[in-house]
A and B are shown apart, each in its own frame.
Chain A
Amino acid sequence: MIPISYIIRNIKKHKITSILTILGVTLVVFVFAGVLMLSNGLRATLVATGYDDNAVIIRKASQTEVQSIIPYDQAQLIVASPEIAPAKDNRPLYTNEIYVLINLPSRTDSTEANLVVRGITPKSFELRPNVKLIAGRLPQEAGSEIITGESASERFVGCGLGERVRFGAREWTVVGIFDAAGTGFDSEIWGDITQMSDAFRRPVYSSITFRMADTSQFTGMKDRLENDRRLTIEVFREKEYYANQSRTITTFINITGTVISIVFSLGAIVGAMITMYSAVANRTKEIGILRALGFKRLSILLVFFLESIFISLTGGMLGVLIAYFLRFIRISTTNWDTFSEIAFNFEISSQIAILAILFAVIMGIAGGFLPAVRASRLKIVDSLRSA
């Protein structure tokens, strides 16, 4: 075998070309990894919004709380379910909530964006231990008071502590800020359910969330409730419910991102190919010498193939490394499944890192293949005669 140091030193020798080729691959892998981290972060945020032993009930086929309506009589039947765990006060641990989308101007450019207003009950906090009041107090049952998620309070005009905001034909005072640990709730406004159903004239619930006493009973309970003729509802595990909400947008991001990455990668492949063709041209004589010494065509093929893969691997690792720092960027977007604003971070995973580096290696293989074949096909006498 021709030694690896021969390959690496040749890469180092042609610094400028090698660095440019590496940077091309770096850019593509950065974009590719970034896209995957984006959808992964979004998914992780939404999945984290749900709890393992919580169940969510919405109207059948409504998919999200936006379109969901649960009449009071159906709600009464549901909350009588024996599978519901007891709360601290020994009453069943459930909350029925309403969920309304409103428009508010953003603080930065005053364009309007959607956000969620959730009418909550006192048990809403007990069901979601990650959600904590970090400033001010809880809203009173009477009066136009709200609390806002940290992200919503920062992003929307009038949503900061002590500020006032108009929606639902009323003016509301922000009396508290809650932190939802980076979950989807962070981008919501919460107020008392009776106030909200008054303001929005909604004498129904959007969803019911409850704690299961025993999660292994989930399937049985789901069957029972969904087959109950008096009910037109669907039952989800809360985690699964929120994961489903990220599906449309993460699929969109993944597909667009992959298409963009592939288009970009064509550029990087052509770059690698040009680099490798010139490496073959520059070293035609060396190839002849190696063959004259007794190295086979396959060894020559491998040298140039490995050289290309090594270049792209370096670019790939660099791309992943740079993409890693995207973790510190927080972005927000509209979740198309719920039409609401959601804030989240890019999130890396070992799977994404491996996939991105694999992508780089594929670029190296694609770019190095033809030049390596050319190198291995040269006739010894011709390459020895070349200058």
Chain B
Amino acid sequence: MSDSMVNIFGLYKSYYRDSLEIPVLRNISLKIPEGEFLALMGPSGSGKTTLLNLLAGIDQPTSGTLSVAGEEISQLNENELAKWRSRHIGFIFQFYNLMPVLTAFENVELPLLLTKLTKKERKEHVETALSIVGLAERMKHYPRQLSGGQEQRVAIARAIVTDPSLILADEPTGDLDKHSAEEIMILLTRLNQEFKKTIVMVTHDPRAAEKAKIVRHLDKGELD
């Protein structure tokens, strides 16, 4: 149990619209050991993003238990969750979602502002993260001065700069050309193999899923 990064049991998630229940996830049970690289596939609307959001503690399950990085996160209050998230979760989105007014360096530094690190320590961490993704030379560039693939690499640097235990990636190659997508997958594979990060990646792209160690399918809210 303790060597599981994620331990989900009997998880249900419904949304309510005008007192109408919309079940999204049904009776999900899932164990993800530390060091796993899991690809989550499934048709649009099947609940993949919802599951990632639950793992990140930015959404609450309707019922069931949900332990992530050793914490029973459904028991945490909002501020505890925010703190927990900044320590344990690295999030990568389909549309990169960098702050347009901040440089690559400042974007990567953002999550570190929640830590007690000094300015100098933050600088070292940011530089390390940016050189891992191969963008040390682009530190002073703003997102609009970068290509999509480069933006996504900055986003990955932002996700790993705090050295989180779990990286959650929601269609990280969904908006990229073939070549950039490959670069991102190489990077994620490296994070998993070299840096021993546990990764859960949602993807539609079979070539991307291939790189994962295990592929799970979600359909109509149920895991295969």
Contact = CB atoms under 8 A, between A and B. Distances in A.
Nearest to B155: A289
Interface in A270-306: 285-286, 289-297
A294 B85 contact: yes
A289 B91 CA distance: 9
Interface in B49-66: 53, 56, 58-59
Interface string B79-103: 1001101110001010001011110
Nearest to B102: A6
B106 interface: yes
A6 B98 CA distance: 12
B191 to A, nearest CB: 18
Interface in A1-41: 1-3, 5-6, 9-10, 13
A10 B91 CA distance: 23
Interface in B170-219: none
A188 B161 CA distance: 78
Contact of B102 (A5, A291, A297): A5
B106 A294 contact: no
B56 A6 contact: no
Contacts of A9: 101-102
B102 A295 contact: no
B110 interface: yes
Nearest to A294: B86
Contact of B114 (A295, A297, A380, A381): A295
A285 B114 contact: no
Given A2-B113, A293-B111, A294-B111, A380 B58 contact: yes
Interface residues of B, number: 24
A6 B99 contact: yes
Interface in B95-129: 97, 99-102, 106, 110-111, 113-114
B113 A289 contact: no
Contacts of A286: 97, 99
Contact of B101 (A13, A285, A384): A13
Contacts of B113: 1-3
B224 interface: no
Contact of A294 (B59, B83, B100, B102): B83
A2 B79 CA distance: 16
Contacts of B91: 292-293
B179 to A, nearest CB: 26
B21 interface: no
Nearest to B111: A293
Interface residues of A, number: 22
Contacts of A291: 58, 82
A297 B79 CA distance: 8
B56 to A, nearest CB: 7
Contacts of A296: 78-79, 82
A238 B53 CA distance: 77
Interface string A334-374: 00000000000000000000000000000000000000000
A10 B99 CA distance: 10
Interface string A295-319: 1110000000000000000000000
Interface in A90-144: none
Contacts of B102: 3, 5-6, 9
B110 A293 contact: yes
A381 B60 CA distance: 10
B58 A10 contact: no
Contacts of A285: 97
- Tell which of B101, B102, B113 has the most Cβ of chain A within 10 Å: B101
B207 to A, nearest CB: 26
A56 B183 CA distance: 92
A31 B86 CA distance: 47
Contacts of B100: 13
A1 B122 CA distance: 14
What are the 5 tightest A-B residue pairs by CB atom distance, in nearest-first order?
Answer: A294-B86, A9-B101, A380-B58, A294-B85, A381-B59
Interface of A: 1-3, 5-6, 9-10, 13, 285-286, 289-297, 380-381, 384
7 contacts: A5-B106, A6-B106, A10-B101, A13-B101, A292-B91, A294-B83, A294-B114
Given A294-B86, A384-B93, 11 more contacts: A5-B102, A13-B100, A290-B110, A291-B82, A292-B56, A293-B114, A294-B85, A297-B78, A380-B53, A381-B53, A384-B58
